[in-house]
């Protein structure tokens, strides 16, 4: 029984890993790559600041959004794990308490990720435009 549950959890945890792996090896257009190299070289010379760092779809916003997405995904996975632990606790009071704490902290993590996403996007939209 425990082996089956471990296999199911491993399968559930593999889905985000595979999704991020596919996204990481997605092809990048040569034109966009050449433009970013040119902008970087010009910035290093002091000629200009690259325009795409602070724009609406800029580097800062993309990196922050990806990190917040990962935090939210981990929190949701922990919520699922807490629910499974709660179901499998079998009435053991310490196991029930540990599962409830896992669920509580996962919910707090989701709330923090949502607020962080809102705050970061507000700051970037209002102060970097």
Q: What is the pLDDT of residues 8-45, one digit of tens each?
A: 666 666 666 655 554 555 555 555 555 666 666 666 66
For 76-111, the pLDDT digits (tens) are 899 999 999 999 988 899 999 999 999 999 999 889
Instruction: Tell me how long the chain is.
Output: 129
Confidence of residue 53 (pLDDT cuts 50, 70, 90): low
Query: What residue spans define the domains of the chain?
Result: 52-127
Number of H helices, E strands in the chain: 4, 0
Give the residue with greater pLDDT, 48 vs 112.
112
CA dist 77 and 46 (Å) reads 45
pTM of the complete model: 0.54
Is the confidence at residue 7, as pLDDT, over 60?
yes
């Amino acid at each position: 029984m425990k082996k089956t549950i471990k296999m199911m959890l491993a399968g559930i945890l593999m889905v985000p890993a595979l999704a991020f792996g596919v996204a990481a090896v997605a092809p990048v257009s040569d034109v966009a790559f050449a433009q970013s190299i040119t902008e970087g070289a010009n910035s290093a010379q002091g000629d200009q600041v690259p325009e795409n760092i602070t724009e609406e779809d800029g580097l800062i916003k993309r990196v922050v959004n990806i990190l917040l997405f990962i935090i939210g995904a981990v929190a949701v996975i922990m919520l699922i794990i807490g629910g499974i632990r709660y179901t499998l606790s079998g009435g053991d009071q310490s196991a029930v308490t540990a599962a409830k704490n896992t669920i509580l902290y996962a919910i707090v993590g989701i709330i923090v990720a949502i607020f962080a996403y809102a705050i970061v996007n507000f700051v970037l939209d209002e102060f970097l435009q």
